[in-house]
Amino acid sequence: MVDEAAYRWNIRRKPTYSQEGGYFLSYGVGLEDARCAVLVVQTDHAHPLNYRGVPSKAVLPSDAERAIGLALERGCGP
């Protein structure tokens, strides 16, 4: 929940080609009950299934909440 709106966020289980190589993990965020624009959030850490063994960390709900809040502050609508 951010500003009384429910959001869902999703990380691909299978990494993309670039994520396999250890590049930045990204995930999608959208309103829970709407099929509209999706915010793509790029993190500063690798996907856990990268083949290069680059360290990763979990994306927490607080991370997604912070990213949504920042996007809203910058004018991105829900």
**Residue 55: what residue type?**
P
Q: What is the pTM of this model?
A: 0.81
pLDDT category at 78 given cuts 50, 70, 90 is: low
Residue ranges per structural domain of the chain:
7-73
- Rounded distance, CA 31 to CA 11, Å? 15
**Does the structure show a pLDDT above 80 at 35?**
no
First-last CA distance in the chain: 12
pLDDT band per the 50, 70, 90 thresholds, residue 26: very high
Average pLDDT over residues 9-31: 89
In terms of residues, how long is the chain? Answer: 78
